[in-house]
Chains A and B, each alone.
Chain A
Amino acid sequence: MSLNTDPNFDRPDDFYQALIDAHAGLTEAQSAALNARLILLLANQVGDFDTLRAAIAAAREALD
């Protein structure tokens, strides 16, 4: 499985709002914890290490 970066959301705007709403009322530390938990849950859903590694590289790309 390779990393799919083509559009794949069935409800993109709803997802984005849900993501932001999930952080409502949280401190910065709590938000960081939520993000970490979310990443781990999604990473397990993907499972495949090559795909995860490609996603990590793509996420890091703009920051170096």
Chain B
Amino acid sequence: MPSTYKAPEYPYVTPPEIAAGGVVRTQVAIVGAGPIGLAAAIDLALQGIDFIIVDDNNTVSVGSRAICYAKRALEILDRLGCGEPICVRGISWKVGKVFFHDKLAYQFDLLPEPGHKRPAFVNLQQYHLEEALVDRLAALGHAVRWRNKGIGIEQDADTARLTIETPDGNYSIEADYVIAADGARSAMRDLMGLEWKGQVFHDRFLIADVHMQGEFPIERWFWFDPPFHPGQSVLLHRQADDVWRIDFQLGWGADPEEEKKPERVIPRIRAMLGDERPFELEWVSVYTFQCRRLDRFVHGRVIFAGDAAHQVSPFGARGANSGFQDTDNLCWKLARVLRDQSPASLLDSYDRERVEAAEENILNSTRATDFITPKTPVSRTFRDAVLSLSQRHPFARQLVNSGRLSMPTTHRGSALSSLDRDVFAGAMVPGAPAADAPVRVRGGSGWLLDEIGGHFDLLVFGPVAPPWLDELQRSLGGEVRLTLIVARPTDNATAGVRVIEDVEGLMRQRYDSVAGTVYLLRPDQHVAARWRAPRLVEVLEGLVRAQGRGGH
């Protein structure tokens, strides 16, 4: 049992429907209160959508599980109003070191560019993260229905019906939509008989949370074939509260039950530490990994997100991080459909965009796994050749793959994006997640990403507002938040138009912008369209397309 953490026990409350007749109606039912279900609940709460969230357990995750939260996930958590406690509690890192045998092969720095609010990664035990999300949801006036287990799902044209089992008996939830966020072993997926396609890797890994006063720097250390664990790989990573994550590759032949025993685990850790410093084992698990996904994530009124929809190996931290991007992508679309602002076909774009992202994550994860666990003798020969060359020859470091760490997907071909008609350089193509930059707003310093999202945002690069801005405002009635980006303070205020100062010129640079450039951003902060000097009609067309109202 962890000595550094006591898991909360959330109260089970008899659902009112059990006494009152057995059925409740809501707009969205969320199955699973792990990180992804909780993020979905917070997002819907912020948008004023009625929902119920259920979980079959009454506490947070056992063991640290997902520990690396990437910059994009942190930005999403910021938008949900809980990035700060997670970043404060977590351990920020950006340097990774790769060792081969007993020598450093190379090291990488993930975020050499300053001028972003969030670091490349924050490490935090999943239980801390879940607790922060539960607290945030409570602050918004909502609670999870703990020990409420989804045991049945059916749907017709208008309604999805969940059967929920509780200690006091069963009841039904009728919902316009169900978000199935019930994890890699998704019961919803099984209940619907959906095929879970992909690859299971023939290898086993021992994963241990170790509490110790370490002298290792705050970096990700990955060993290939180290003297203390010959022939296999080892990963060392720091978490909060002086807890360290250590992964030992064991090979396919290892016996999971035997390997979990402290008398097996402790000597392995002792050999790695190479000294007699005290440590305590907090949690041990043995896992195999899989790269699998559903063919489609939207099945009528049941929508899958996170590990329930797609599963990857842990190398690359692409599990929870991509799950947060799922709900980020989904919730604004769901809210628009539920408010009759967009047709239900808008949800098809969730399916396409997040399937595209899952493919990208699975490709990266599979490649990393093939490098870490070579499947054939020749694959191992090349792997070791890469590692041995990497110590002296920089080119080979490009090929070393101990996990390509999570980056958000740019939805290049999205039906919601408008193709560029003007010439732009840089990364902010339609479909890309918006880059952060330091700004000045409301008389104080801030960050661009804290100022956008949750609405459609139109960023107009000044110094002056284009003549059509008034008319746009009138025709949209507040549906799009308008912002004028200026290089220095201006008195040129237009009613209803917010002014943000690009204090360091980094927005101009990162968005390849000049006077008159306009960006349309989606509520999930992805670029929908951009223009050099658009006419009003082009902006309106771009908005209609981004809202899935265009017809195809």
* Bitwise interface map of B from 375 to 410 toward A, beta carbon under 8 Å scored 1, else 0: 000100110111011000101100100000000000
Contact in complex: B395, A37 (CB < 8 Å): no
Contact of A44 among B378, B384, B395 (CB under 8 A): B395
When C-beta atoms are compared, the residue in chain A nearest to B399 turns out to be A40
From residue A48, how far is it (CB to closest CB) to chain B in Å? 14
Q: In the complex, which residues of chain A have a beta carbon less than 8 angstroms from the beta carbon of B388? A: 33, 37
Q: Which of B381, B384, B385 has the most chain A CB within a 10 Å cutoff? A: B385
Q: In the complex, which residues of chain A have a beta carbon less than 8 angstroms from the beta carbon of B395? A: 44
* A41 and B388 alpha carbons, distance in the complex (Å): 12
Q: Which of A29, A36, A44 has the most chain B CB within a 10 Å cutoff? A: A36
Contact in complex: A40, B389 (CB < 8 Å): yes
Q: Which secondary structure dominates where chain B touches chain A? A: helix
Task: Say whether A58 faces chain B, with CB atoms less than 8 Å apart.
Answer: no
Task: Say whether A32 faces chain B, with CB atoms less than 8 Å apart.
Answer: yes
Contact of B393 among A29, A39, A41 (CB under 8 A): A41
* Bitwise interface map of B from 343 to 378 toward A, beta carbon under 8 Å scored 1, else 0: 000000000000000000000000000000000001
Q: In the complex, which residues of chain A have a beta carbon less than 8 angstroms from the beta carbon of B399? A: 40
From residue A17, how far is it (CB to closest CB) to chain B in Å? 23
From residue A8, how far is it (CB to closest CB) to chain B in Å? 22
Interface size band for B:
10 to 19
Contact in complex: B386, A33 (CB < 8 Å): no
* A28 and B83 alpha carbons, distance in the complex (Å): 55
Contact in complex: A40, B381 (CB < 8 Å): no
Q: In the complex, which residues of chain B have a beta carbon less than 8 angstroms from the beta carbon of A44? A: 395-396
Q: In the complex, which residues of chain B have a beta carbon less than 8 angstroms from the beta carbon of A33? A: 381, 384-385, 388
Contact in complex: A40, B396 (CB < 8 Å): yes
* A29 and B377 alpha carbons, distance in the complex (Å): 10
From residue B552, how far is it (CB to closest CB) to chain A in Å? 34
When C-beta atoms are compared, the residue in chain B nearest to A37 turns out to be B385
Contact in complex: B386, A32 (CB < 8 Å): no
Q: In the complex, which residues of chain B have a beta carbon less than 8 angstroms from the beta carbon of A36? A: 381-382, 384-385
Q: In the complex, which residues of chain A have a beta carbon less than 8 angstroms from the beta carbon of B396? A: 40, 44
* A37 and B390 alpha carbons, distance in the complex (Å): 10
* A36 and B386 alpha carbons, distance in the complex (Å): 8
* Bitwise interface map of B from 101 to 137 toward A, beta carbon under 8 Å scored 1, else 0: 0000000000000000000000000000000000000
* A40 and B383 alpha carbons, distance in the complex (Å): 11
When C-beta atoms are compared, the residue in chain A nearest to B395 turns out to be A44
When C-beta atoms are compared, the residue in chain A nearest to B378 turns out to be A32
From residue A29, how far is it (CB to closest CB) to chain B in Å? 8
* A30 and B378 alpha carbons, distance in the complex (Å): 12
When C-beta atoms are compared, the residue in chain B nearest to A38 turns out to be B385
* A33 and B378 alpha carbons, distance in the complex (Å): 9
Q: In the complex, which residues of chain B have a beta carbon less than 8 angstroms from the beta carbon of A41? A: 389, 393
From residue A46, how far is it (CB to closest CB) to chain B in Å? 11
Q: In the complex, which residues of chain B have a beta carbon less than 8 angstroms from the beta carbon of A37? A: 385, 388-389
Contact in complex: B384, A40 (CB < 8 Å): no
* A29 and B385 alpha carbons, distance in the complex (Å): 12
Q: In the complex, which residues of chain A have a beta carbon less than 8 angstroms from the beta carbon of B384? A: 33, 36
* A37 and B381 alpha carbons, distance in the complex (Å): 9
Q: In the complex, which residues of chain A have a beta carbon less than 8 angstroms from the beta carbon of B386? A: 40
* A39 and B389 alpha carbons, distance in the complex (Å): 11
From residue B308, how far is it (CB to closest CB) to chain A in Å? 36
When C-beta atoms are compared, the residue in chain A nearest to B384 turns out to be A33
When C-beta atoms are compared, the residue in chain B nearest to A45 turns out to be B395
Q: Which of B381, B386, B399 has the most chain A CB within a 10 Å cutoff? A: B381
When C-beta atoms are compared, the residue in chain A nearest to B398 turns out to be A44
* A28 and B368 alpha carbons, distance in the complex (Å): 27
* Bitwise interface map of B from 210 to 244 toward A, beta carbon under 8 Å scored 1, else 0: 00000000000000000000000000000000000
When C-beta atoms are compared, the residue in chain B nearest to A34 turns out to be B385
* A44 and B399 alpha carbons, distance in the complex (Å): 10
Contact in complex: A32, B381 (CB < 8 Å): yes
* A37 and B389 alpha carbons, distance in the complex (Å): 7
When C-beta atoms are compared, the residue in chain B nearest to A29 turns out to be B381
* A40 and B395 alpha carbons, distance in the complex (Å): 9
* A38 and B386 alpha carbons, distance in the complex (Å): 10
From residue B436, how far is it (CB to closest CB) to chain A in Å? 32
From residue A31, how far is it (CB to closest CB) to chain B in Å? 10
* A32 and B381 alpha carbons, distance in the complex (Å): 7
- Apart from A32-B381, A40-B399, A44-B395, list 7 A-B contacts with CB within 8 A: A29-B381, A32-B378, A33-B381, A36-B385, A37-B388, A39-B382, A41-B389
Leading 4 A-B pairs by shortest Cβ distance: A36-B385, A44-B395, A37-B385, A36-B382
8 residue pairs from A and B, CB less than 8 Å apart: A32-B378, A33-B385, A36-B381, A37-B389, A39-B382, A39-B385, A40-B385, A41-B389
List the interface of chain B (C-beta within 8 A of A).
378, 381-382, 384-386, 388-389, 393, 395-396, 399
